[in-house]
Amino acid sequence: MAKSRRLRIVLVVVLALLVVGSTAAVAGTRLLSHRYEGAVERADLLPAAPPASPGATTEPPKVRGPMNLLIIGSDSRTKGEPGDGRSDVVILIHIPKSTSKAYVISIPRDTYLPIATAGGGRGPRNKINSAYAWGGAPRLVQTLNQYGGITIDWPVIVDFAGIRKLTDLVGGVDVTIDKATVDTYRFLPDHSPYPSAPCTDPQGRSRRCVAFAAGKQHLDGQLAEYYVRQRRGLPNDDIDRSKRHQQYLRALAEKIADQNMLTSPRDLDRLVRTAASTLTVDRRMPVQRLAFTLRGLRANDMTFMTLPIAENRDVPGVGSVMVPDASRSRELFAALREDDLDKYVRDNPPNDVRHGR
């Protein structure tokens, strides 16, 4: 398989999107398409559309740029309904009109934003992940649409517990860590094979906590999950954790691109089925047509950013929150609406995800 084609698959898998259609196009068979389609869960992830006026025609599902995709990371593969828990990962992906790039924008889970009401109005501020807890994916979509003045076209829920399966399937990933850290929230059982350091739990008992040494580290599935979930012990808390999410995505992309498994129909089938099994997409999402639209993307076409944060603050009744930088956030979303994020990136350097905290 040509390198350019491999990278197309890599980007699709890494973004946790369009696995079904992209790989079916490579395989060239409708049979495989239906097989992978069945591995992806579908649910109502978008807000309900207003009733159509008499005689109005229904618009076809959007498959062209510019478009906005929303990746929602959850602890279990749910259908994005209220009560499913809070989403630890919120990533907005903007595909420009040219469909030649992907701008990956992480929104820390404690970002303090006006949360959409149950009726779709603008409600009081709270942590962004509360929108998902209170109203599932549709309410999270409404919240971001209102805040940024944007339209999210397609949300996708990713089971981040699936990180273990996908990482182990490719033989682990390599990351470079700038400074040694200890996750004082993650306690290891006795005789754990993973690196640890002495720590104390909330009851004052001596425990062993997950530790990451500085330098290049190899992560298997379990350690990769520990890595992307850590926030305690990082200099910038959830901002650094968001960058770790992005670093992991890049590392996974590089590892998949380097694996000969993409040249083997059997190994490719395992990869795609594993990735697809971690996804829930909207019922109306035209997966295969979207994959065809994005077939020219390359792994190096991803630009990683984080929503600008001005300060951390304790809010009574809410807890510790991250307050967005209002001016820079307006600038970011204005550039997104105008489909000119290149201009924003020139003035606001993107994240360097070749290494992490």
Higher per-residue pLDDT: 149 or 271 = 149
3-class DSSP state of 145:
helix
How far is residue 175's CA from residue 178's CA, in Å, rounded to a whole number? 10
Question: Can you give the pLDDT at residue 157?
Answer: 87
3-class DSSP state of 304:
strand
**Residue 299: pLDDT over 80:** no
**Residue 16: pLDDT over 60:** no
- Whole-model pTM: value is 0.85
Contacts of 264 (CB under 8 A, 6+ apart): none
pLDDT above 70: percentage of residues in the chain: 78
Q: What is the pLDDT of residues 209-268, one digit of tens each?
A: 999 999 999 999 999 999 988 988 898 888 898 888 888 888 887 787 777 665 667 777
Question: Can you give the pLDDT at residue 38?
Answer: 64
Higher per-residue pLDDT: 247 or 315 = 315
**Residue 34: pLDDT over 70:** no
**Residue 324: pLDDT over 80:** yes
Q: What is the pLDDT of residues 185-195, one digit of tens each?
A: 999 998 899 99
Ordered structural domains, the chain, with CATH:
3-45+62-162+260-347 (3.40.630.190)
Question: Can you give the pLDDT at residue 264?
Answer: 67
* DSSP-assigned letter for residue 85: -
Question: Can you give the pLDDT at residue 19?
Answer: 40
Most confident of 74-78, 89-93, 159-163, 211-215: 211-215
**Residue 28: pLDDT over 50:** no
